[in-house]
Amino acid sequence: MAASANRPITANPLVQVRADGRTRTMNARITEGAEARALLRRVLLRTGGTYLFLIAPARAAGRTVPIVVLDPIADDSKPGTPLQN
């Protein structure tokens, strides 16, 4: 089901992300509207527009492009910690 301006999508699952040999627990949330546009602008500025081609077809078709934000909530910084399924 597509999101609309008057019915935002909300989700707050916990995810584990591994980077540089460390595992971090993060809170994932979907953002839309003004916050999503601001985040997208920051990404496009940092990457020189590299990722624009990923969302252009969806936006051209009038679809909402939700942005997933990962917020760290814990640092399980034991090197080599396996991800839990």
Per-residue pLDDT tens over the stretch 34-54: 887 787 777 777 766 655 556
What is the C-alpha separation between 63 and 18, in angstroms, rounded?
Answer: 31
Q: What pTM was estimated for this model as a whole?
A: 0.43
Query: Any idea where the domains of the chain sit in the sequence?
Result: 14-76
What is the C-alpha separation between 71 and 67, in angstroms, rounded?
Answer: 13
Asked if 26 contacts 68 with a C-beta cutoff of 8 angstroms, the reply is no
Q: Find tokens 């590299």 and name the residue.
A: 50
Give the β-pairing of 22-31 and 67-76.
antiparallel
Query: How confident is the model over 11-41, as pLDDT tens digits?
Result: 567 877 787 788 778 888 777 778 877 877 7
